[in-house]
Amino acid sequence: MDAAVRRLTAMAAGTAGSYGASYEQMGAVWGITRQGARKKWPDAVVRTPATASAALELFGGPAELTLGPSSRRWTWTARGVDGERGAAGADTGCATREEAAAYVGAFLQGHAAP
């Protein structure tokens, strides 16, 4: 039983870290220190550079995903094949790069060549 609980808590910590939770936040939830959480789940929080970006092309249109340094939200800008431009601002950004990529993919698919 103990091994199953350890495995499940490690999975939960990894998921929380991928959504931006810090070791301090995880420690507070589990009633341990930040250092204790870091020792218990060393790979849960992925450190990202102050700014990060990724360029991609989907359905014939270019797009860029950007991680805001202060908001820690992923935003996107794109131009569809039909010339339509779309963007998600910092106030409506996404929690993960994958979520932003899904939104930009849906936008570009809707503005692809017929």
- Residue 18 CA: distances (Å) to CA of 27, 56, 57, 113: 16, 21, 24, 35
Residue 64 DSSP SS3: strand
Can you give the pLDDT at residue 52? 79
User: What number of other Cβ atoms are within 10 A of residue 19's Cβ?
Assistant: 10
Q: Which two tokens stand for residue 45?
A: 């929080």
- Span 13-27, pLDDT tens digits: 888 887 778 888 999
Can you give the pLDDT at residue 47? 66
Can you give the pLDDT at residue 45? 84
| Residues recorded for the chain | 114
- The pTM assigned to this predicted structure is 0.55
Directed axis angle between helix 23-30 and helix 2-18, to 10°?
140
